């Protein structure tokens, strides 16, 4: 986030602080409180929660007593924990904590022993968990120095009067103000420790404000004390853009408005409860969320006004364990009161509606409800529309289980075009199907219902779509040979620039060779990935691809630099699963035609992208150029050219003065050839490239249909490599004879691939006519000329270096970045 949080106009005069259970978990945490609240405010009120885990312990005690189980050991353990903490904070007994605890635990024991059965037992048991805050207030009072330091202790039950309501516990403001005024008259002072969570009803009976009630208490007392600031101290740095357990790149939001905070709280953000905001919102009190364990962090400031940071979406939240309930009926169209009947039935059944969606056709109404209420809701709606269903006016009441709602929240969405497009586009890129969508007229919330199994991937994809985190692609590399190593080096060099300038993260999480693989939960450094492979496990391509396609990461990409036909056989499966594939491996493009067709069918239907530019011209834009011609309506008639950097170098150097075998040895020493030069000299690799180009142009050519001239004599094709290298001289005489014949005719030799207008394909040594582009290449240049309907007389030529791991790796890297750009990265 680029903007800093807005600062208050002036230092607060009346500041309410609230500390959660994790912030007062033990004596050390209580002792950490005084410096945190030493902000110079003349009046300071501190609302405190129970020690971490105490509320749950009290709930369990009450349940055990109600069920006539043995609760005494748990009571003793809870008592001992508090007395041990009191001994550290009030060792000399000056603040009377020991005596107070004796009274409170004796009363708790008596209450547990006397807990009746039935409704009265439920009411009394519900009040017992509030004891944790009472005990905690004594401990914090002592940690702050007690009465001697000018601190008073307020038991909220003496002041706060509440009543139950359909939307939660409500405050009797008039009675509470009167009681607070009376209490303050009897306890003068501007430093007060207050118990959170507890209150009394109009009949004077002890009660609580429900879960997260201590935050609500803090907000209530900020209102009652007319405070001009409220700080809630917790164990996180502030309100985060998403759940960091699901989105590791979630960021702390420096500022947000009440409206944004309310939306996020309603949709499950754990830092705030929706009810907490109402009292401070009434008075416009700024609320800051801060981390008691990291006070250096500024936290999140929540104010009435939107922050002017230009970010349309501030946060994303997920609500789990939901279901979609849908009423479908042709007879509903234009009939007033249908929605009222539907929601009336749900209200009568006690079913809470999370989200509503209805098409303008009025043919159906769907709503999202909690999973545990879904069947009850369906039964209620079927009963309410029984007559319509019998008459055929309504067709069905359906229930879709295992649903989540993803909510995107932000004031910046108001009046900003394209926000929904970014959200839905991000979900589409991650292959997440949207079941229903809703957006209120206020425009600060877009909610989508999605399948529960897609929830994590959807959250991460949406988070990336709004630039709250780097556009992250999970990457797996197969084949760390020369090209693979060069690619890793280029990736290591480029990553810092991507992170800095384009917020693109290519997260290398898997690497494999023909025998081993190394899988890591987080990114492995590209410059040490080869070393990491040394500690790998046995190769399992199913596990490899599943790891790369991690549910918590929105995009997955496998780079195959192996040259393996067995690896290429997995492409259709990977692409169908939405995994993008980039490769210089020619086995896919030139392998069996049915597999080639399956790969492209998977691309069309599966969502994964397949890029293979480096299969033909290394780093040259050969396929890209051909595709541009064809996509703009041109028609390919002929392809001709030099498609091997190795053979280009050999024939550019061969002038009859040096034996061809010596040139082969030199090329081998320079690393221009494959480890076994026969892989280059056989012409098979060139033939594969020609097949790829033919298929790209729509011609169903197979490798077996290409006429291939091998430069390797038949007697040397099956011998061991060392023997072949020793007998290289056997290549010389035939080529010398061909060269002499060409020179006598004023021509030269080149190893060319050719696909003619009739579909005949051949590769081999030819003598191009004078002026042919192939005669003007240099070193390892590949040269491909396309004759098309537009370029009939003067062919279009693509020329440039076509051999070497660096240029091939650059072509692969270019394909990777091309895919990243389609995913939204600004690479």
Distance of alpha carbon 2 from its chain centroid, rounded?
21
Q: 754 with 639: CB under 8 angstroms?
A: yes
DSSP string, 436-489: EEEE-TT-SEEEEEEEGGGHHHHHHHHHHHTTSS-EEEEEEEE--SHHHHHHHH
State both tokens at 33. Answer: 């409180």
- Whether the model clears a pTM of 0.85, i.e. scores above it, the answer is no
CB-facing half-sphere around the CA of 312: CA atoms within 13 A: 20
Q: What is the dihedral of CA 138, 139, 141, 145, to 10 degrees?
A: 140
- Rounded-to-integer distance, Cα 680 and Cα 698, Å: 27
Residue for token digits 């600060």?
Answer: 444
CATH 3.30.2130.10 in the chain is located at 315-467
Mention the CATH class of domain 315-467.
Answer: alpha beta
As a whole number of angstroms, the distance between CA 680 and CA 695 comes to 22
Strand partners, 785: 640, 797
Residues 18, 314, 586, 689: which is the catalytic one?
Answer: 689
Can 689 be counted among the known catalytic residues?
A: yes
| 3-class state of residue 707 by DSSP | strand
Helix (H/G/I), strand (E/B), else coil: 507: strand
How confident is the model over 692-734, as pLDDT tens digits? 999 999 999 999 999 999 999 999 999 999 999 999 999 999 9
Residues of the chain with CATH 3.40.50.720: 472-618+811-823
User: Residue 42 has what pLDDT?
Assistant: 94
The answer to whether 797 touches 818, Cβ cutoff 8 Å, is no
Lookup: tokens for 79 = 């008592």
SS3 of 405, please?
strand
Q: What is the CATH number of domain 472-618+811-823?
A: 3.40.50.720
Tokens matching residue 755: 């696909």
Helix, strand, coil percentages for the chain (3-state, nearest 5): 45, 20, 35
Instruction: Tell me what pLDDT residue 470 has.
Output: 60
d(CA 537, CA 519): 9
d(CA 321, CA 370): 6
E strands, 84-228, where?
A: 152-154, 161-163, 170-171, 191-195, 198-201, 206-208
* DSSP-derived 3-state class of residue 633: coil
Q: Which CATH architecture has domain 14-235?
A: 3-Layer(aba) Sandwich (3.40)
Q: Going by C-beta distance under 8 Å and a sequence separation of 6 or more, which residues neighbour residue 515?
A: 538, 539
788 beta partners: 636
List every span in the chain annotated with CATH 3.30.360.10.
Answer: 622-803
Instruction: Pick out the chain residues at pLDDT < 50.
Output: 1-8
Give the bridge partners for 78, in sequence order: none
User: Where on the phi/psi map is residue 631: left (φ > 0), alpha (ψ -120 to 50), or beta?
Assistant: alpha
Task: Answer whether 429's CB lies under 8 Å from 554's CB.
Answer: yes
Q: What confidence score (pLDDT) does residue 786 get?
A: 94
d(CA 806, CA 487): 7
Q: Where in the chain is the domain with CATH 3.40.1160.10?
A: 14-235
Q: Which of 348, 396, 395, 337 is nearest to 376 (CA)?
A: 348
In 727-802, beta strands by DSSP E: 750-755, 761-766, 781-788, 796-801
What is the C-alpha to C-alpha distance for residues 550 and 753, in angstroms, rounded to an integer?
Answer: 42
Please report how the helices 660-670 and 645-653 are oriented relative to each other, as an axis angle in degrees rounded to 10. Answer: 130
Tell me how far apart the alpha carbons of residues 553 and 569 are, in angstroms, rounded to a whole number: 25
Q: For residue 123, how far is the Cα from the chain centroid? A: 44
pLDDT for residue 295: 94
Provide the token pair at 576: 């169908």
CATH architecture of 622-803: 2-Layer Sandwich (3.30)
Task: Annotate 332-380 with three-state secondary structure.
Answer: HCCCCCHHHHHHHHHHHCCCCEEEEEECCCCCEEEEEEEHHHHHHHHHH
């Amino acid at each position: 986030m680029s903007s800093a949080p807005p600062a208050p106009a002036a230092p607060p005069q009346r500041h309410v602080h609230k500390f959660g259970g994790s912030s007062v978990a033990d004596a050390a945490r209580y002792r950490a409180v005084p410096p945190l609240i030493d902000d110079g405010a003349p009046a300071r009120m501190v609302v405190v929660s129970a020690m971490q885990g105490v509320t749950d312990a009290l709930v369990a005690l009450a349940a055990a007593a109600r069920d006539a189980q043995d609760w005494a050991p748990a009571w003793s353990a809870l008592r001992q924990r508090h007395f041990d903490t009191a001994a550290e904070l009030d060792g000399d007994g000056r603040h009377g904590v020991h005596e107070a605890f004796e009274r409170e635990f004796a009363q708790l024991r008596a209450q547990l022993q006397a807990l009746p059965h039935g409704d009265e037992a439920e009411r009394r048991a519900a009040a017992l968990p509030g004891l944790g805050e009472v005990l905690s207030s004594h401990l914090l009072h002592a940690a702050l120095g007690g009465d001697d330091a000018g601190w008073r202790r307020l038991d909220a039950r003496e002041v706060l009067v509440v009543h139950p309501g359909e939307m939660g516990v409500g405050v009797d403001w008039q009675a509470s103000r009167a009681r607070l005024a009376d209490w303050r008259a009897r306890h003068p002072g501007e430093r007060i420790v207050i118990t959170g969570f507890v209150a009394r009803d109009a009949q004077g009976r002890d009660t609580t404000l429900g879960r997260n009630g201590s935050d609500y208490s803090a907000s209530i007392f900020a209102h009652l004390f007319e405070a001009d600031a409220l700080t809630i101290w917790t164990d996180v740095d502030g309100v985060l853009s998403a759940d960091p357990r699901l989105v590791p790149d979630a960021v702390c939001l420096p500022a947000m408005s009440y409206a944004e905070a309310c939306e996020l709280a309603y949709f499950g953000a754990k830092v705030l409860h929706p009810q907490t905001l109402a009292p401070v919102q009434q008075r416009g009190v700024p609320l800051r969320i801060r981390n008691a364990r990291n006070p250096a962090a500024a936290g999140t400031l929540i104010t009435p006004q939107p922050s002017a940071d230009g970010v349309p979406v501030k946060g994303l939240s997920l609500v789990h364990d939901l279901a979609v309930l849908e009423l479908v009926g042709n007879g509903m169209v234009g009939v007033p009161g249908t929605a009222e009947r539907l929601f009336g039935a749900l209200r009568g059944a006690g079913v809470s509606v999370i989200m509503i969606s209805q098409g303008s056709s009025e043919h159906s109404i769907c709503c999202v409800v909690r999973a545990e209420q879904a069947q009850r809701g369906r039964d209620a709606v079927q009963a309410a529309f029984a007559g319509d269903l019998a008459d055929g006016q309504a067709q069905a009441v359906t229930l879709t289980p295992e649903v989540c709602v993803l909510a995107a929240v932000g004031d910046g969405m108001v009046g900003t075009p394209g926000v929904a497009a970014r959200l839905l586009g991000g979900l589409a890129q991650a292959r997440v199907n949207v079941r229903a969508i809703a957006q209120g007229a206020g425009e600060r919330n877009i909610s989508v219902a999605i399948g529960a199994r897609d929830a994590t991937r959807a959250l991460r994809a949406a988070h990336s779509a709004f630039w709250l985190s780097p556009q992250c692609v999970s990457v797996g590399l197969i084949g760390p040979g020369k090209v693979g190593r060069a690619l890793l080096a280029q990736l290591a060099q480029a990553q810092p620039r991507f992170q800095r300038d384009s917020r693109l993260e290519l997260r290398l999480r898997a690497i494999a060779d023909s025998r081993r693989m190394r899988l890591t939960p987080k990114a492995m450094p590209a410059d040490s990935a080869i070393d990491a492979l040394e500690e790998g496990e046995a190769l399992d391509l199913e596990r490899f691809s599943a790891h790369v396609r991690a549910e918590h990461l929105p995009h997955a990409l496998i780079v195959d630099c192996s040259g393996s036909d067995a690896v290429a056989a997995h492409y259709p499966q990977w692409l169908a699963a939405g995994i993008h594939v980039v490769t210089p491996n020619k086995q896919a493009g030139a392998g069996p035609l049915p597999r080639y067709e399956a790969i492209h069918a998977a691309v069309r239907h599966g969502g994964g992208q397949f890029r293979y530019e480096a299969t033909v011209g290394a780093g040259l834009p050969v396929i890209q150029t051909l595709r541009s011609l064809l996509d703009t309506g041109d028609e390919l008639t002929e392809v001709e050219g030099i498609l091997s950097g190795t053979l280009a170098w050999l024939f550019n150097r061969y002038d009859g003065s040096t034996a061809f075998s010596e040139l082969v040895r030199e090329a081998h020493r320079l690393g221009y050839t494959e480890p076994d030069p026969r892989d280059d000299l056989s012409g098979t690799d060139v033939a594969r490239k020609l097949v790829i180009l033919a298929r790209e142009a729509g011609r169903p050519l197979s490798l077996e249909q290409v006429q291939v001239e091998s430069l390797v004599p038949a007697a040397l094709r099956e011998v061991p490599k060392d023997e072949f290298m020793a007998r290289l001289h056997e290549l010389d005489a035939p080529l010398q004879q061909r060269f002499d014949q060409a020179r006598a005719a004023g021509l030269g030799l080149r190893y060319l691939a050719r696909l003619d207008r009739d579909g005949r394909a051949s590769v081999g040594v030819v003598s191009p006519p004078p002026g042919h582009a192939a005669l003007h290449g240099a070193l390892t240049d590949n040269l491909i000329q396309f004759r098309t309907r537009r370029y009939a007389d003067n062919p279009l030529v693509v020329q440039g270096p076509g051999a070497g791991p660096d240029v091939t790796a650059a072509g692969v890297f270019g394909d990777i970045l091309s895919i990243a750009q389609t995913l939204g990265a600004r690479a």
